[in-house]
Structure 1
Amino acid sequence: MHDALHSDNLLGNYRASGLLYSFLVEFNLCISHRESGSTYHPALIKAIDYINNHYQSSITMEELCSHCGVSKQHLCLLFRTMLHTRPMEYAAKRRIQVAKELLTGTSMTIEQIAAETGFCTASYFCKMFKRYEGITAIQFKRDFISTV
């Protein structure tokens, strides 16, 4: 993380951001489940790490389950129980988080951001952004610029 953070390129900074996000998710899981006396499954951590490190490419449930060594049903149960979400929804939210950083920190186009964050098309990216954020990506960027 140190190397990624101190690199001079933008992707290094986003890699560091992703690693920090992974850490915070895992830390939150640790704290919340330690308080309740339960532990989280190693397959869930593997899945989260995999998503956070591969969000830029297409991720399938089969690929994710194979990497984690569990069935689709078991992985979905782990995500639902521990994170109150589905694996592919977690991946979409991770992509949107990175997209928000790119929208506010770069002059990249919507098409470039969609490609950089693993969305198959710019229109699908826009649809998912609106679903999760409640506003369009363009409006998000305009709102950010108007507050700076």
Structure 2
Amino acid sequence: MNQKVILVVDDEPKSRQGIKKTIERTYIDQFQVITANDAKEAMERIDHQKVHVLITDIRMPEVSGLELLKQLKTKAQEPVVIVVSAYSEFDYAHEALELGVVNYLLKPIAKEKLMNAIEKAIDVEKQREETGIFSKMIDGKLLEMQQKSKYSPGVEHALDYIEQHFDKELTLKQVASEVHLNASYLSALFKEELQITFSEYVTRKRIQEAKKLLLSTNLTIAEIAEKTGYHTSKYFIKLFKQYENLTPNSFRKQNVSDS
């Protein structure tokens, strides 16, 4: 199991080591705790290692904790942040909160308050991770179409049928027959009401389901192709790459490692 990484940034060695030791003694082997003595070293750490929670002093020489948070906004990764300070000025706290800080602790930090802050930060990080994975699985355009409630009965019936049978062979003629409509008429309805063709809708639905399987199972590409209605993995890979600009394998590797 991969450990969550906590980065402690403070220019005062005693404070920095004190926070590190408190976390390590309380959460034995649960977290990997690393340290930095200033913002520059912290950014170097973040550039080379995934950091899940950042605990930073707000007042440091050269680059302050607030400036560090502003720099983080330009990075691909944004850890959950806890700010610590020997000062209780409202302006500092207010700006820190605007920069997405989940907790603002005053020195000297009580052990219980530090532990509560870390547990809250880990919960936030898990929620972000789950939301991130969900967003990678979902086709925004498909979701938008599925949330609309004003479709003609024939299109509604067709969408329900596709939802239940996307893993089987689906043709326009077959679905039209199931919903008791002429194939040409159903095709025209799809274009008019959904602004995409029947075949594109089916493909988007299948690709979305494939992304869910890629991120939540260890099924092979051939097995996923079969479960999403494709006879050959070659054709499935071609379509997946067309829609996602990545092969299924690359999509899986990239997004599983990100999380």
Q: What is the match of residue 254 of structure 2? A: 143
CA–CA distance in structure 1, aligned partners of residues 178 and 199 of structure 2: 15
**Match runs of 1:46-125 below 5 Å:** 46-125=157-236
Distance of aligned partners of 1:101 and 1:76 in 2 relative to their CA distance in 1, 3 Å threshold: same
TM-score (normalised: structure 2): 0.43
Percent identical pairs in the alignment equals 34
Report if aligned partners of 2:225, 2:236 keep a CA contact under 8 Å in 1. Answer: yes
Number of positions where the alignment pairs a residue of Structure 1 with one of Structure 2: 118
User: Aligned AA for 1:114?
Assistant: A
Report if aligned partners of 2:214, 2:252 keep a CA contact under 8 Å in 1. Answer: yes
User: Aligned AA for 1:72?
Assistant: A
CA–CA distance in structure 2, aligned partners of residues 79 and 56 of structure 1: 20
SS in 2 for 1:44: helix
CA–CA distance in structure 2, aligned partners of residues 100 and 23 of structure 1: 14
How much has 1:84 moved relative to structure 2?
1.1
CA–CA distance in structure 2, aligned partners of residues 40 and 103 of structure 1: 31
User: Aligned AA for 1:67?
Assistant: E
Q: Which has the higher contact order (CA 8 A, sep 6+)?
A: 1
* 1:29 matches 2:148: yes
CA–CA distance in structure 1, aligned partners of residues 186 and 208 of structure 2: 22
SS in 1 for 2:256: helix
SS in 2 for 1:103: helix
* Structure 1 residues without counterparts, runs of 5 or longer: 1-21, 31-38
Structure having the higher helix fraction is 1
How much has 1:25 moved relative to structure 2?
4.3
CA–CA distance in structure 1, aligned partners of residues 201 and 256 of structure 2: 27
Structure having the higher strand fraction is 2
TM-score (normalised: structure 1): 0.74
* Structure 2 residues without counterparts, runs of 5 or longer: 1-141
More moved, 71-80 vs 103-112: 71-80
Q: What is the match of residue 45 of structure 1? A: 156
User: Aligned AA for 1:99?
Assistant: A
How much has 1:24 moved relative to structure 2?
7.1
CA–CA distance in structure 1, aligned partners of residues 160 and 198 of structure 2: 12
RMSD after superposition: 1.8
Larger radius of gyration: 2
CA–CA distance in structure 2, aligned partners of residues 24 and 74 of structure 1: 23
How much has 1:23 moved relative to structure 2?
9.2
